[in-house]
């Protein structure tokens, strides 16, 4: 079994190996009382989904929703890993997936508890194994650019607004640049060309922008045509999408400029396969401007489970 990270194959030799990789596939360590579905196609991991367990139960409608997402991603086989008390639901969940309208072939179910993997099916008598934290597969995933394990709260803090004085500094710089451009036609070729060059420069930088530079980025992205050009440039390479840059800029902005940049961060993260950061970015955008249309479209795309490689402006839900 293998998984792809930035076009690098990471070989997985056992269910314990797979369990060790789950924090990197999800982007954070699964909480207790949750179930992770790992979808595969032709022995290649296509996606990993965390299923929330409420009051010790998983609703059939939730299972159906996640099976649809797995199908959208081309998965034909499934590994089910339960955490904590959620392990008791694994047999029921396996039967539900196998007897779905379009059944998934479940290749393994197992439970993780206290750092050990307990097989449930197809070999329940197999002894427990320690979940590796530095296996060759984990090391290969890290080398290929996989995210380190974090809990979900840590990920939410990525979009915590910067200090008020820093945000005020950016707001003043943005207002000053708007005043200077008040009499300019921002859609003329020369002006739009400057905006395109600005964004092309920043998407290749490793340093983070200062206040006036964040304002320049926000102003460039206020042109929808320029924003959409940038989205079209997004591929599946985290290094080229520069997700950290857009997150940094969004944290220093407010209102619609924040929503715009947060959507760029969401788009960039999801195209790299990082759905959890994309979801946090969309949430940030909707907090900044609940009526920002691109944020609503991206949220719908995440809920439908559109495969990252298919995400584009033309494939967003209407």
Q: What's 67's domain CATH number?
A: 3.40.140.10
Residue pointed to by tokens 């709260």: 153
* C-alpha–C-alpha distance, residues 240 and 223, integer Å: 22
* Structural domain total, the chain: 2
Same domain? For 72 and 188 the reply is no
SS3 assignment, position 59: coil
Same domain for 170 and 97: no
Q: Are residues 274 and 256 in the same domain?
A: yes
194 in the same domain as 79: no
On average, the pLDDT of the chain sits at 84
Question: Domain range holding 231?
Answer: 155-315
Q: Which residue has the higher pLDDT, 281 or 25?
A: 281
pLDDT at residue 9, rounded to an integer? 73
* Pairing mode of beta strands 34-41, 105-113: unpaired
Residue 56, pLDDT score: 67
DSSP 184: S
Q: Please list, in sequence order, all residues whose beta carbon lies within 8 angstroms of the beta carbon of residue 167, skipping any fewer than 6 positions away.
A: 161, 252, 253, 254
State whether 57 and 83 are in the same domain: yes
Task: Give the integer Cα–Cα distance in Å for 88 and 80.
Answer: 12
Q: Identify which of 303, 298, 218, 238 has the alpha carbon closest to the alpha carbon of residue 266.
A: 298
Q: What percent of the chain has pLDDT over 70?
A: 88
The whole-number pLDDT of residue 5 equals 42
pLDDT in tens, 56-80: 677 777 777 888 888 888 888 889 9
Residue at which a domain ends, from 103, 130, 149: 149
Q: Which of 112-116, 147-151, 153-157, 196-200 has the lowest mean pLDDT?
A: 147-151
Same domain, 113 and 195: no
* Three-class secondary structure of residue 240 per DSSP: helix
Question: What pLDDT score does 1 carry?
Answer: 47
pLDDT at 88: 65
DSSP H helices, the chain, are 15-26, 60-72, 90-98, 136-143, 152-156, 164-180, 189-202, 211-221, 224-233, 238-241, 243-251, 255-271, 275-288, 293-304
The more confidently predicted of residues 48 and 214 is 214
Does pTM top 0.85 for this prediction? no
Q: Looking at the structure, do residues 11 and 139 belong to the same domain, yes or no?
A: yes
pLDDT at 2: 46
Q: Choose one of 134, 149, 164: the last residue of a domain.
A: 149
Query: Last residue of some domain: 149, 183, 216?
Result: 149
Which of 188 and 139 is assigned the larger pLDDT? 139
**Beta-ladder partners of 41:** 44
Structure letter (DSSP) for residue 147: P
Residues 119 and 162 in one domain: no
pLDDT tens profile 11-66: 788 888 899 989 888 888 887 778 899 988 887 888 888 887 776 677 777 777 88
Q: CB under 8 Å to 315, separation ≥6 — which residues?
A: 301, 306
Residue 70 corresponds to which tokens in the numbers above?
């797995």
- How confident is the model at residue 202, as a pLDDT? 93
What is the pLDDT at residue 185? 62
Burial string for 172-197 (b: 16+ CB within 10 Å, else e) reads ebbeeeeeeeeeeeeeeeebbeebbe
Same domain, residue pair 135 and 204: no
My answer on whether 107 and 223 are in the same domain is: no
Say yes or no: 291 and 161 in one domain: yes
Q: What confidence category does residue 248 fall into, taking pLDDT thresholds of 50, 70 and 90?
A: very high
pLDDT of residue 6: 44
Same domain, 15 and 111: yes
Pair 110, 119: CB distance under 8 Å: yes
pLDDT score, position 145: 66
């Amino acid at each position: 079994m293998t998984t792809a990270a930035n076009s690098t194959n990471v070989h997985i030799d056992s269910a314990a190996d797979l369990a060790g990789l789950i924090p990197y596939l999800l982007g954070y360590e699964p909480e207790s009382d949750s179930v992770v579905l790992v979808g595969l196609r032709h022995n290649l991991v296509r996606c990993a989904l965390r299923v929330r367990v409420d009051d010790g139960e998983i609703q059939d409608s939730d299972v159906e929703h996640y099976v649809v997402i797995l199908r959208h991603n081309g998965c034909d086989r499934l590994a089910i890993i339960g955490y904590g008390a959620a392990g008791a639901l694994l047999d029921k969940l396996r039967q539900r997936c196998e007897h779905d309208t379009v059944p998934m072939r479940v290749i393994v179910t197992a439970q993780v508890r206290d750092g050990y993997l307990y097989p449930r099916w197809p070999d329940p008598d197999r002894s427990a194994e320690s979940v590796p934290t530095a296996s060759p597969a984990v090391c290969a995933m890290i080398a290929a650019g996989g995210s380190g394990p974090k809990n979900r709260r840590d990920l939410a803090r990525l979009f915590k607004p910067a200090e008020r004085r820093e945000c005020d500094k950016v707001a003043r710089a943005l207002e000053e640049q708007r005043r200077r451009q008040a009499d300019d036609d921002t859609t003329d070729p020369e002006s739009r060309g400057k905006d395109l060059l600005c964004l092309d420069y920043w998407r290749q930088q490793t340093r983070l922008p200062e206040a006036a530079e964040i304002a320049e980025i926000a102003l460039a992205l206020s042109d929808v045509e320029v924003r959409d050009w940038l989205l079209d440039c997004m591929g599946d390479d985290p290094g080229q999408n520069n997700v950290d840059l857009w997150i940094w800029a969004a944290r220093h902005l407010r209102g619609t400029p924040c929503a715009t940049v947060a959507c760029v961060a969401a788009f960039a993260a999801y195209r790299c396969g990082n759905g959890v950061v994309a979801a946090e970015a969309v949430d940030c955008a909707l907090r900044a401007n609940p009526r920002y249309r691109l944020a609503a479209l991206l949220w719908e795309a995440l809920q439908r489970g559109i495969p990252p490689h298919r995400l584009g402006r033309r494939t967003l839900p209407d």
